[in-house]
Amino acid sequence: MFRPRAKLIILFLTGLTLFGCSGTRVYRTQQVLIDKNEVYQESQLLKNNPVNFIITTPANKKFLGIPIKKMLYESAHPEPQKKFEEWLAKKEKRRKRLEKWFSPKQVSALENYSVKFNEWLKKNGEPPAVLDINAINTSKKRIQQYYKNLGYYNVIVDHDTTHTKPKKVVLQYQIYPDKQYEIDSIKTQIDSPQIEKIYTSNTATAIIKRGDAFEINKFEKERERLFTLFRNNGVYNFQQNSIQFIAAIDSTGQDLKIPVTIEIQNPQQLVNEFSTTVPYQTYTINEIEVFVDDFNAGINIDQFTDSIQYKDITLYSKGKLKYRPQAITSGIAIKKKQPYSDHDRTLTYRYFTNLKNFKYPSINYSLIPEKENQLKASIFLTPRERFSLGFDLDFSHSNIQDFGIGLGGGLGIRNVFRGAESLELNIKNTLGASRDIAQKGDQFFNLFELGADLKLSFPRLVFPFFENAWTTPEMNPVTQMILGTSIQQNIGLDKQFFKSTYQFDWQPKKNKKVQIKWIDLEFVNNRNLSNYFNVYRNSYDRLNSIAAIYNTQTDFQDVDGNLSIPEGTEGFINAVLNNETILNQENPDFKTVNTVKERQDRLTANNLILGSSFSLNFNSQESIFDENFYQLRWKVDWVGNLLNGVLRAVNAPENDQGQTQLGGVSPSQYVKSEVDYIKHWPLGNEQVIAFHAFGGLAVPYGNANNMPFSRSYFSGGANDNRAWKAYKLGPGSSNNINEFNEANFKLAFNIEYRFPLSGPLKGGLFIDAGNVWNIFDDVDDTAFRFDGLQDLSEIAIGSGIGLRYDFDFFVFRFDTGFKTFNPALPKGERWWGEYKLKNAVFNIGINYPF
């Protein structure tokens, strides 16, 4: 008898053998296949024309020239169950032997696996693109209809084939469109005088005009324009199907000009069981009322006991109203004595939704008895619970942290000051692991962070002694005041952060957002300075190698003869810089020690950053499904001017470099500007070309000669140049001699081709380019600096391939990058010098980088 484990192994090997046999025999069709489609308009090849996407004879998709999906499909047996039975019957005692070894139930399961595997092959594969005359004729009819929709009513479509191999052809469609029909005249037949008046007043915005090509999509857009026009000008019951376009096309084809009649009929209504025509009328808002209470409980309007009249709006509540009237009414775009408008209704919906104090509002309109063409607007608001408590658990990955687990909680309070404000308190504790942090022992979780944020949000712009005139409620203005602090332990220098922000956000247009941070304060306190050389090991190795030659103090060394940390490193640096060794200032090793000391002072210095910023965002994306869009972000920071001006005015103390100080810390001073651009081009069939460009420059001045580490730029990582690890590229042509290489000038360019592989599995090919440099700061090494356009030759280039799995709510991404052009190598070796698998960089990310 076989033991259970041995049975499973044999069953698995049997299944592999069976499936392997299925995969080795390919059931290829013997019919002629379409290798490629080509569409010509007369003699011109149409490469990126939409007509390519309407044909019904697509060729099989290929990856690197191989039709993988077709091969999967053809690997499946056409009758898998019958095949399995034949396999069992091929040897006389095979079934009995398998049932004896395993069991009849397990043999049946093996049969089921065989069938399921074949189903998987077909589901994830692609049927062969067989040359089919019926499909060709369907494509020709669709092409003809497509061109007719463009005004070519005498179009002729033909096809031809060219053999590339004995059983493969290039299918060519030939289109002869002839002449395009034009709109001759535009007349109207409008039943309602009110509708005709609105139409006549807005002809300047018409989409169809005399002399234009007779294109069907223009008529659809004109129908939508008219519908929106009438609904926004008082005709609250207007129906789109009331609009008809009548065109008189000359069937002889001699007259290519088509007269058009726009017919707008009045609607039909049932009155006393008889159908009658009721003319369209314009309606005016005469009453506006707001009901604030929980309508899910089936409350009756008669139960409202309190009412307030505020600026032509009546507010009803069950008991005393818990909101200030202005907070409710300021965002209501519906106005008394104004015509009904769908646009005003939508803006009102959006205002109450953005307040986050109410569930989705309900807005109803009703006729007012005995008042002709007058409407009453009723808005029903259901408040959310005032207090909310939530907890979250998340897993994270960042440029420094390889793995992190975060546990947090949040308390929310709505309507804090009766003006629909919200107050949020969030606390989060994170444990993480990092390979890059030197840590004694072998514990996995070597990072710890505890932080808290307090955020107060106002649904308006709040500025002392200032009346907001920049925005309207429709722009969704928000003021945020944020206080936050966090403590990091066992992560390098054990930093303590404190931040404070006072900012305005608003949306002037649908695709445009503006943000002003009036106060952007950050204080970084390094608490474990003695751990510096444990963290920045490259700096330690450079210093230790010099000490091995020039150090004569045994008390600077540990038992292995290396510099001890921190006593030995500090003692040796002081000895060198105080001329207590044989090193002199002209010696390159003396300069190296001085550079190590300057970098240590910079990275261990506490930072006080106080400034303001302005950012502008454009986004043409209509929804998450829109793949033809662009995004543009511009931001400028100005930091330290006011604070350092005040400190100099009051004669604040200065350090050895003449920099003013506050509490022993030199406040940063710089100006920083950056531009970020993203563009997507859809290619059809879930294929997309994505492009990204970034440029940023930060210039320290006045009280500073370099940038704070937290506000500088770096290159490399899962969202940047993926052929380098984060902080491992640059600056310039330097060979990433530090653990965290950063600078104050950055350029980055990325282009990526994204395509489907199988179901939710996607693929990507990418090229990344960019680098960081030092400019206008205290770095003198020419390898690190950007001294002119000639240094653009130091832009690093990486290329690679990626796999992505779409979970619908997020995308898991795995990218492999190869160093294609490495500016750190000697000039003759920069191209392809490290283009090897052993030098590849593997990146894991969540969602697409751009």
Show the 3-state SS of 447-514.
EEEEEEEEEEEECCCCCCCCCCCCCCHHHCCEEEEEEEEEEEECCCCCEEEEEEEEEEEEEEECCEEE
Q: Which of 202, 207, 322, 186 is CA-nearest to residue 262?
A: 186
468 phi and psi angles, rounded to 5 deg = -65, 120
CA 333 and chain centroid, separation: 31
Tell me what the pLDDT averaged over the chain comes to. 86
CA 397 and chain centroid, separation: 17
b/e 276-310 (16+ beta carbons within 10 angstroms → b)? eeeebbbbebbbbbbbbbeeeeeeeeeebeeeeee
pLDDT of 266 strictly over 50 = yes
pLDDT of 5 strictly over 50 = no
Task: Give the pLDDT confidence of 440-462 residue by residue, as tens digits.
Answer: 444 555 667 889 999 999 998 98
**Per-residue pLDDT at 109:** 74
In this prediction, residues 463-478 reach a mean pLDDT of: 78
Handedness of CA 43, 46, 50, 54 (dihedral sign): positive
* H-helix or E-strand spanning residue 387: strand 387-396
- Please indicate whether residue 11 or residue 462 has the higher confidence score (pLDDT): 462
Task: Give the pLDDT confidence of 765-793 residue by residue, as tens digits.
Answer: 999 999 999 999 888 888 899 999 999 99
- Asked whether the beta carbons of 504 and 515 are under 8 A apart, the reply is yes
**Per-residue pLDDT at 710:** 84
108 phi and psi angles, rounded to 5 deg = -65, -40
Handedness of CA 702, 706, 708, 713 (dihedral sign): positive
Share of the chain above pLDDT 90, in %: 46
**Per-residue pLDDT at 251:** 63
**Per-residue pLDDT at 697:** 97
**Per-residue pLDDT at 395:** 65
592: left (phi over 0), alpha (psi -120 to 50) or beta: alpha
Determine what percent of the chain falls in helix, strand and coil, rounding each to the nearest 5.
25, 35, 35
- Asked whether the beta carbons of 203 and 186 are under 8 A apart, the reply is no
**Per-residue pLDDT at 74:** 80
Q: Which of 16-30, 154-168, 560-574, 740-754 has the lowest mean pLDDT?
A: 16-30
**Per-residue pLDDT at 463:** 82
Task: Give the pLDDT confidence of 68-125 residue by residue, as tens digits.
Answer: 888 888 888 777 777 777 777 777 677 777 767 777 777 777 777 777 787 788 787 8
CA distance 219 to 225: 10
The DSSP 8-state label assigned to residue 530 in this structure reads G
Burial of 332 (0-12, 13-18, 19+ CB in 10 A): buried
CA distance 385 to 358: 9
pLDDT of 18 strictly over 70 = no
pLDDT of 13 strictly over 50 = no
- Which position has the token pair 């030092």? 774
In this prediction, residues 722-751 reach a mean pLDDT of: 88
- Asked whether the beta carbons of 330 and 460 are under 8 A apart, the reply is yes
pLDDT of 405 strictly over 90 = no
pLDDT of 623 strictly over 90 = no
Q: Which of 288-302, 339-353, 604-618 has the lowest mean pLDDT?
A: 288-302
Q: Are strands 374-381 and 284-292 parallel, antiparallel or unpaired?
A: parallel
591: left (phi over 0), alpha (psi -120 to 50) or beta: alpha
